[in-house]
Copies of this chain bind each other. A is one copy, B any other.
Amino acid sequence: MNDIELVSANKSFGGWQKRYRHQSKALRCDMVFGIYLPPQADQGKPLPVLYWLSGLTCNDENFSQKAGAQRLAAELGMVLVMPDTSPRGEGVPDDAAGAYDFGLGAGFYVNATQLPWAEHYRMYDYVVDELPALIEEHFPVSDQRSISGHSMGGHGALVCALRNPGRYRSVSAFAPITHPLDCPWGHKALGNYLGNDRQSWKQWDACELIAEAEERLPLLVDQGEADNFLTEQLKPEALEAAAQAAGHPLTLRRQPGYDHSYYFIASFINDHLRHHGKALGLL
Rounded to whole angstroms, the CA-CA distance of A219 and B170 in the bound complex is 45
Q: Which of A98-150 contact B (CB under 8 A)?
A: none
Binds B, one of A185-193, A244-252, A259-267: A259-267
Interface of chain A, helix or strand or loop or mixed?
mixed
* A7 on the B face (CB < 8 A): no
Rounded to whole angstroms, the CA-CA distance of A68 and B64 in the bound complex is 11
* A25 on the B face (CB < 8 A): no
**Min CB gap A84→B, angstroms:** 19
Chain B residues positioned under 8 Å from A226 (CB to CB):
11
Chain B residues positioned under 8 Å from A17 (CB to CB):
263
Q: Which of A252-283 contact B (CB under 8 A)?
A: 255, 257-259, 261-264, 266-267
Q: Is the beta-carbon distance between B266 and A68 smaller than 8 angstroms? A: yes
* A223 on the B face (CB < 8 A): no
In-complex Cβ contact of A259 among B10, B71, B259, B263 (8 A): B10
In-complex Cβ contact of A65 among B224, B255, B262 (8 A): B262
- Give residues in A with beta carbon < 8 Å to B: 10-14, 17, 65-66, 68, 70-71, 224, 226, 255, 257-259, 261-264, 266-267
